[in-house]
Amino acid sequence: MADPIGIDFGGSGIKAAPVDLTTGEFSAERERIDTPEKSTPQAVAQVMAELLKKFEDTKSAVGVTVPGVVRKGGVIGSAANIDKSWIGTDADDLLSDVLGREVHVINDADAAGLAEVRYGVAKGRSGLTIVTTLGTGIGSALLYDGVLVPNSELGHLEIEGVDAESRAANSARKDEDLSWEKWAKRLTTYYRALEKLFSPDLIVVGGGVSKHGPEFIPLIEINTEIISATLRNTAGIVGAAALASDKQG
Ligand code: BGC
């Protein structure tokens, strides 16, 4: 059967690639289109339809990441960094309709968590792993003995009276032009809060910025083992493709 296609809907770009699920690697070149300025469900669905035209196979299963809560059945429950009209949208229905085949959505950080547990650093790890993605916001995935507990939304923990992601996401580092040291201090505060509440066995740092892991991860002062993700910015696509294949049974 054709490789499933994963689509990653992010704040700045929408990216897609078919994934070979035996290796967790892309089986064709990744395609990307800028996220429309007004990122409404209809506008985003149209971009996804454009992206799919770039791949030959029109039958492959499709999985899509969304940067918000995804309730059972694909209804979106929150929209911190995307157009608010996503809230209450049945994204499985809308995207299946526009893309002309069965589509399933998953929270972006949950997709990254699934990818890391199947192909990356979280593979074979027992106990509680928390995968965090540091990007426009902070995403989180809780994996207990490799099983995902979806929609943890730990980027929105209130710390020192503010939404954690507004201080510690990679976008805060860029917007405020923070040095690695200054950002690592904020990350220390954030990850200490996670340690206190969850006593994790492993914390994984994902998102595109994890390619600079050696510059800031060693500066994060916590007691839990904390390591860079393996898949970085391919994790969303890989996790979404894995979901699409799981749902097909
Ligand atoms: C959203 C999460 C998402 C994360 C990363 C947060 O603002 O609430 O659902 O996983 O950003 O995109």
- Whether residue 197 is found in the same domain as residue 184: yes
Residue 137 lies in a domain: yes
Residue 213 lies in a domain: yes
Q: What residue's CA is closest to ligand 1, atom 4?
A: 139
CA of 88 relative to ligand 1 center, distance in Å: 16
CA of 106 relative to ligand 1 center, distance in Å: 11
- Residue 49 near residue 36 (C-beta atoms within 8 A): no
- Identify how many contiguous H helices and E strands the chain contains and give both numbers: 8, 15
Query: What domain range is 217 assigned to?
Result: 125-230
Segment 113-170, tens digit of pLDDT: 999 999 999 999 999 999 999 999 999 999 999 999 999 999 999 999 999 999 999 9
How crowded is the C-beta side of 193, counted as CA atoms within 13 Å? 17
**Domain CATH code at residue 194:** 3.30.420.40
- Of the pLDDT bands very low, low, confident and very high (cuts 50, 70, 90), residue 212 is very high
Please tell me the predicted confidence (pLDDT) of residue 226: 98
- Whether residue 10 is found in the same domain as residue 98: yes
Segment 57-72, tens digit of pLDDT: 778 899 999 999 999 9
Q: How many CB atoms lie under 10 A from the CB of residue 84?
A: 11
- Whether residue 59 is found in the same domain as residue 81: yes
Q: What is the mean pLDDT of residues 21-28?
A: 96
Ligand 1: which residues within 6 Å by Cβ? 67-69, 78, 80-81, 107-109, 133, 135, 137, 139, 153, 155, 165
Percentage of the chain with pLDDT > 90?
Answer: 94
Segment 215-244, tens digit of pLDDT: 999 999 999 999 999 998 899 999 999 999
Residue 243 lies in a domain: yes
- Whether residue 26 is found in the same domain as residue 103: yes
- Is residue 95 scored above 70 in pLDDT? yes
- Whether residue 152 is found in the same domain as residue 210: yes
- Whether residue 226 is found in the same domain as residue 238: no
- Whether residue 217 is found in the same domain as residue 239: no
Total domain count, the chain: 2
- Of the pLDDT bands very low, low, confident and very high (cuts 50, 70, 90), residue 187 is very high
- Whether residue 242 is found in the same domain as residue 188: no
- Whether residue 138 is found in the same domain as residue 218: yes
- Of the pLDDT bands very low, low, confident and very high (cuts 50, 70, 90), residue 54 is very high
Residue 175 lies in a domain: yes
**DSSP labels, 124-180:** T--SEEEEEEESSSEEEEEEETTEEE----GGG-EETTEEHHHHHSHHHHHHTT--H
Length of the chain: 249
Mutational pocket test of ligand 1: of 133, 148, 158, the residue with most ligand atoms within 8 Å of the beta carbon = 133
Residue 118 lies in a domain: no
- Whether residue 196 is found in the same domain as residue 137: yes
Residue 116 lies in a domain: no
Mutational pocket test of ligand 1: of 134, 142, 165, 166, the residue with most ligand atoms within 8 Å of the beta carbon = 165
- Whether residue 81 is found in the same domain as residue 173: no
